[in-house]
């Protein structure tokens, strides 16, 4: 039974590689988060690519930025935590 599942997974991934190849994802020289994630997602999607799924990746994540005076406060907090002084 495990052999059959392994063959199914292998065929699934090979179909995904073919789909990525047909979309020319391997020809571009861009080496960034979006390109790598798009290729990986296309390969993992496998046969779903031929059923209309067009995986897209957005690597622009909104990360909270520290406040203007937060740097010195963070340093003080880190020092207090390192020496065991309660904050």
- HEC states along 36-58? HHHHHHHHHHHHHHHHCCCCCCC
- Against a cut of 0.75, is the pTM above it? no
Q: What is the pLDDT of residues 44-86, one digit of tens each?
A: 888 888 888 777 777 776 767 766 655 555 544 444 444 444 4
DSSP E strands in the chain: the ranges are: none
Cβ-count burial of 46 within 10 angstroms (0-12 exposed, 13-18 middle, 19+ buried)?
buried
pLDDT reported for residue 68: 63
Which carries the bigger pLDDT value, residue 30 or residue 80?
30
Q: Can you give the residue ranges of every domain in the chain? A: 2-61
- Token representation of residue 58: 């957005």
Q: Angle formed by the axes of helices 33-45 and 2-22, to 10°?
A: 130
**Rounded CA gap, 84 and 39, in Å?**
47
The overall average pLDDT reported for the chain is 75
Please check the confidence at residue 25 and state whether its pLDDT lies above 90.
no
């Amino acid at each position: 039974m495990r052999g059959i599942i392994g063959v199914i997974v292998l065929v699934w991934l090979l179909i995904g590689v073919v789909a990525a190849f047909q979309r020319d994802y391997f020809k571009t020289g861009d080496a960034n988060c979006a390109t790598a994630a798009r290729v990986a997602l296309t390969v993992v999607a496998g046969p779903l690519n031929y059923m209309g799924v067009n995986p897209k990746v957005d690597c622009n994540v909104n990360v909270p930025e520290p406040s203007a005076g937060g740097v010195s406060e963070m340093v003080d907090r880190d020092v207090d935590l390192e020496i065991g002084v309660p904050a």
